[in-house]
């Protein structure tokens, strides 16, 4: 399902960004997703576009 693929891609990208720069971004998963800090929107958009296009 596209929605599930998009959710997985977005969460994975945010976690990747947080791992690369934990001082600037933190991610917390509970009932939802808590994001604190700076997000690289260009990278996030590329991941979303890839998920929509059927990329990895």
Domain span at 13? 2-53
Record the pTM.
0.86
pLDDT band at 52 (very low <50, low <70, confident <90, very high): confident
Q: What is the tally of structural domains in the chain?
A: 1
Q: What is the per-residue pLDDT across 11-51, written as a single tens digit (0 to 9) for each?
A: 999 999 999 999 999 999 888 899 999 999 999 999 999 98
Other beta carbons less than 10 A from residue 28's beta carbon = 10
In angstroms, the CA 10 to CA 19 distance is 14
pLDDT band at 1 (very low <50, low <70, confident <90, very high): confident
DSSP assignment string, 1-56: -HHHHHHHHHHHHHHHHHHH-TTTEEEEESSSEEEEE---HHHHHHHHHHHHHT--
Q: What is the per-residue pLDDT across 39-50, written as a single tens digit (0 to 9) for each?
A: 999 999 999 999
């Amino acid at each position: 399902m596209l929605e599930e693929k998009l959710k997985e891609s977005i969460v994975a990208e945010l976690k990747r960004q947080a791992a690369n720069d934990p001082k600037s971004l933190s991610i917390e998963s509970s009932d939802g997703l808590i994001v604190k800090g700076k997000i690289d929107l260009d990278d996030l958009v590329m991941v979303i576009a890839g998920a929509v296009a059927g990329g990895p």
